Structure 1
Amino acid sequence: MSGGAVASLPEGLLDGGVWFRVEAAPNASTVRRTAERLAVELGLPERRVADLSIVAAELAGNLVKHADQGTLLVRAVRTPEQAGVELVAVDSGPGMADLAVSAGDGHSTAGTLGIGLGAIARQAAWCDVHSVPGKGTVLAAQVWASARPVVPWAAGVTRPLTGEPISGDAFAVRDAQGRRQVMMCDGLGHGGLAAAAAHEAVRAFQDAPPGPPASVLELLHRRLSRTRGAAVAIAELDPDAGLVRYAGLGNITGTVIPPVGPRRGMVSLPGIAGHQRRQIREYDYPITPDAIVLMHSDGVADRWTPDGYPGLFTHSPLVIAATVLRDAGVRRDDAGVLVARLP
């Protein structure tokens, strides 16, 4: 087991996370060591670091043995009480037809012992997996310092432009005195200055006093004036009213998507938060308990639908977001996906 200081960790690991291509055994070893170093930096006890090492090794090893175009995200996760490490493994095939069988000890599709998925489920505080034959698998796992927190009602993933170490896209989730709100942000351009604008938007969103999305977006517009600016959208999910309240500036796509039937696009007005705006307006949209709110930057194609992904909406927002990023994200731009559902 290896330790390390913040300076030894890849840039971005403590915020948006770092993606690894996992195509050979040395890549898998790098993922495991990076996860261990992050866990030590976050103060996880030695026993949990050892559990994380097993989870990381199994996830990365599965990508090497079974996956096509396998990638793995390593990032920190936090609550006010504790910290943890989150791993998201994504591949484009061959997928698994029966997850219950595949997760059983002794099952293998590559002539190995076949204990990987079972070991992940036992060592992780939480895990979730969705797989479709011919499309691939997304598996998310978390290891926390102590007890696992409640699975969140909203989650997101971002990925930088190929060749960049950090993404200019960012997201945030908050519960501000009962107002359950999410934000998706795309810093203008890409690279360090785009990331700085996006991170400032996250800080401003988390610091903003409770209020409707339009008033929060107005505050973000003022806070971003010293950055290069960003496209920003904020959604508030109100389970009592069965509504999504939405306000956006710039090229962020927001959609209410039911498991079946037509999707409903939400309106983001032209502008750049921090620099250009004619107006900020808020719109209301109905939502049912089985639907999701999907928000993404322009690095993700906006025609994604759940058709062909049986059972996906029964999974966590994180697994849904990673699936959309895998199949609709583009490599020529930063890409970010945020998924929320009524709590």
Structure 2
Amino acid sequence: MMAGSFHAAFPMGDPSRVGEARRHAALLAAECAFDDVAAGRLALVVTELATNLVRHAQAGRMWLSMRRERREVEVLAVDAGPGMHDVERSLGDGFSTAGTPGTGLGAVRRLADSFDVHSARSQGTLVLARVRAAGDAPAGAACVGAVSLAAPGELVCGDGWGFALDGPRAAVLVVDGLGHGPDAAEAAAVALESFSEDPFTAPRDLLERLHQSLRRTRGAAVMVLHCDADAGTVRSAGAGNVVARLVSGISDRSILCQHGTAGLKIRSPDETVTPWPDHALLVVCTDGIETRWKAEVLVPVLGHDPAIAAGLLARDHCRGRDDATVAVLRRKD
């Protein structure tokens, strides 16, 4: 079971924000019980990536989150340009466009337990680095990633997401508490707790259970999906403005929720079965993300860590006035 905390966002408009991001990363390291060595690796990763954003990027931002159950901190550095001319060359030691020693990205790749990067000329760059306390991430038949951002001015996020992985099966929940702020965050937490009790309950039954659990809250939009890599299917049920899409280089299929708000009023839950094409990403978004993004934007990142795809959509298609979440799942190669 993997339940996500939201990403704290740090705009990198001036050098003072580097220290701010590093201090927040230290708090996350303590939450994950990092030892001094792991905490030091994380501090260096954050410092190098944040400094790169200040020196080189346009509209640079750093997003920090943790996965407590994996004792892992995730760092996403995103920007709107200018992009790298040659990614592999930029990762090599000694290459610099600013007169520095040119060891930053190479050092980050060596220090991180997971690392990935995507860059497009004039569009920008996303760099992902995860640092874990110890050991490898649990194995499974699917790779998962998510980005969740609080509404502007809020200290908590009213969205939530969770993945449960069991061999070829995966269960996904994305929830959007009504409105935003602490009450919405409470609704999301209740939904995630109920989901974690038995995530592989049939989606229509799980939606009904979530509906009952959320009655003591302000309610939420929710979507539950069960993915079976062996059968090549996605079974789903949901209520409200959470939308899923299955996107590959040759296909794009939407999976919609029924009307209603879990915890307030929904009709008898329906369950949908959708074919899961080979190499297709399952992308689930709350309504803080624009719905009409083009499937082609994800084609260059189909083979990347799913968090790169989630970060790309959050960077380029966040509405900027509400909580926003993108959760992505793909089969392992």
Mark yes or no: TM-score above 0.5.
yes
1:285 alignment partner, one of 266, 274, 280: 274
Pair 1:150–1:131, CA change in 2 (3 A): farther
2:210 paired residue number: 220
Provide the identity percentage: 37
Residues 295 and 163 (structure 1 numbering): CA distance in 2 closer, same or farther, change over 3 Å?
same
Given that 2:32 and 2:68 are in contact with CA atoms closer than 8 Å, whether structure 1 keeps it comes out as: no
Q: Does 1:238 align with 2:208?
A: no
Correspondences of 1:87-98 after superposition (within 5 Å): 87-98=75-86
* Amino acid corresponding to residue 114 of structure 2 in structure 1: W
Q: 1:238 touches 1:342 (CA, 8 Å); kept in 2?
A: no
Equivalent position of 1:159 in the other structure: 149
8 Å Cα contact 1:237/1:342 also seen in 2: no
Deviates more, 1:108-117 or 1:57-66: 108-117
Structure-2 residue corresponding to 1:116: 104
TM-score (norm 2): 0.93
2:122 match: 134
Q: Using the alignment, how far apart are the partners of 1:334 and 1:298 within structure 2?
A: 8
Q: Which sections of structure 2, spanning at least 5 residues, go unmatched?
A: none
CA contact (8 A) 1:225 1:275 kept: yes
SS at match of 2:194: helix
Measured after TM superposition, the shift of residue 147 of structure 1 is 2.1
Q: CA deviation at 1:303?
A: 1.6
**Contact kept? 1:289, 1:341, Cα under 8 Å:** no
Alignment gaps of 5+ in structure 1? 1-13
Distance 1:230 1:97 in 2: 44
| Matched AA of 2:161 | F
Per-residue deviation at 1:99? 0.9
Tell me how far 1:52 sits from its aligned partner.
1.0
Is it true that 1:268 corresponds to 2:229 in the alignment?
Answer: no
- 2:13 aligned with 1:23, yes or no? yes
- Displacement of 1:179 in angstroms is 3.9
SS at match of 2:59: coil
Segment drifting more, 310-319 vs 142-151: 142-151
Deviation at 1:308, TM superposition (A): 4.8
Shift of 1:306: 3.9
| 1:76 equivalent in alignment to 2:72 | no
Change in Cα spacing, 1:94 to 1:150, as seen in structure 2 (3 Å) is farther
Matched, 1:307 2:296: yes
Structure 1 counterpart of 2:245, which letter?
T
Match in the other structure for 1:342: 331
C-alpha deviation, 1:309, in angstroms: 5.4
1:237 and 1:244 in contact (8 A); partners too: yes
Q: Distance in 1 between matches of 2:45 and 2:132?
A: 12
For 2:42 and 2:216, locate their aligned partners in 1 and report how far apart those are by CA, in whole Å: 40
Q: Cα gap change, 1:192/1:139 in structure 2, threshold over 3 Å: closer, same or farther?
A: same
Give the match for residue 314 of structure 2.
325
CA–CA distance in structure 1, aligned partners of residues 299 and 97 of structure 2: 22
TM-score (norm. length: structure 1): 0.91
Q: Is it true that 1:67 corresponds to 2:53 in the alignment?
A: no
The 3 A distance-change label for structure 1 pair 142 and 177 is: closer
1:182 aligns with 2:172: yes
Root mean square deviation of aligned Cα? 1.7
